[in-house]
Amino acid sequence: GENVEQHPSTLSVQEGDSAVIKCTYSDSASNYFPWYKQELGKRPQLIIDIRSNVGEKKDQRIAVTLNKTAKHFSLHITETQPEDSAVYFCAAFLYSSASKIIFGSGTRLSIRP
């Protein structure tokens, strides 16, 4: 069935280093890929998204890349800061269903001081 796989499940990086989270999706018709950040006890919040007609998008320290052929997309955070510590979820909009976003299982990112 429809599926989004996310890796790694946990990631610890030194403050100032880069963090990369990778996701793959199963439905080649997917055309919208948002990334959400969820801090403990809080709601998921959109941090960046990309549509299938572009290969890369950047917003300050955050960038997302999309490889439609391989059906994978990645989140890149550069110059990590303590406030980047959170759980990050990738997601894919499944055009075939025209109704729902499917989420990955999440990556818990910890920034070491």
Partner 1 sequence: GAGVSQSPRYKVAKRGQDVALRCDPISGHVSLFWYQQALGQGPEFLTYFQNEAQLDKSGLPSDRFFAERPEGSVSTLKIQRTQQEDSAVYLCASSSVGVMNTEAFFGQGTRLTVV
**Residue numbers at the binding site for partner 1 (CB under 8 A):** 6, 31-32, 34, 36, 42-46, 49, 51, 89, 93, 95, 97-106
CB of 83 to partner 1, least distance (A): 19
Calculate the alpha carbon distances from 97 to 19, 24, 52, 94 in Å.
32, 18, 16, 6
If phi > 0 it is left, if psi is from -120 to 50 it is alpha, else beta; for residue 109 that is beta
Nearer to partner 1, 31 or 78 (CB): 31
CB of 16 to partner 1, least distance (A): 28
